[in-house]
Amino acid sequence: QVQLVESGGGLVQPGGSLRLSCVASGSSISTYAMDWYRQAPGKQRDWVARIPSRGGAAYADSVKGRFTISRDNAKNTVSLQMNSLKPEDTAVYYCNKVFGKFPWGQGTQVTVSS
């Protein structure tokens, strides 16, 4: 059973940057397309970015040009580089497989505030 552990969140001022990591254990995720999601308080979980096993990434319009998703198959990790952060990016961030979800991790809190 794959376990996902997200990390790298924190408190950052508007315009700042953070790099999130999602480490998978229990099995390799190298052949799976992986997504990042986020959930703000009182709102549904929204899709943020996707990286396939091969090929180009895709992004929600709200983060396009500011966020970059990447993966390191040797480390069984998917990352999300977040630049030019805005208060509306505040949420708990999660990663998961695109199809046939793994158990959700605990997520990592990102707070963008001055």
pLDDT at site 1: 87
Q: Which residue has the tokens 């998917």?
A: 78
**Tokens at 96, concatenated:** 């998961």
Instruction: Specify whether the CB–CB gap between 113 and 11 falls below 8 A.
Output: yes
Full strand arrangement of the beta sheet holding 18-25: 3-7, 18-25, 77-82, 67-72
Residues of the chain with pLDDT under 50: none
Q: What is the pLDDT of residue 36?
A: 98
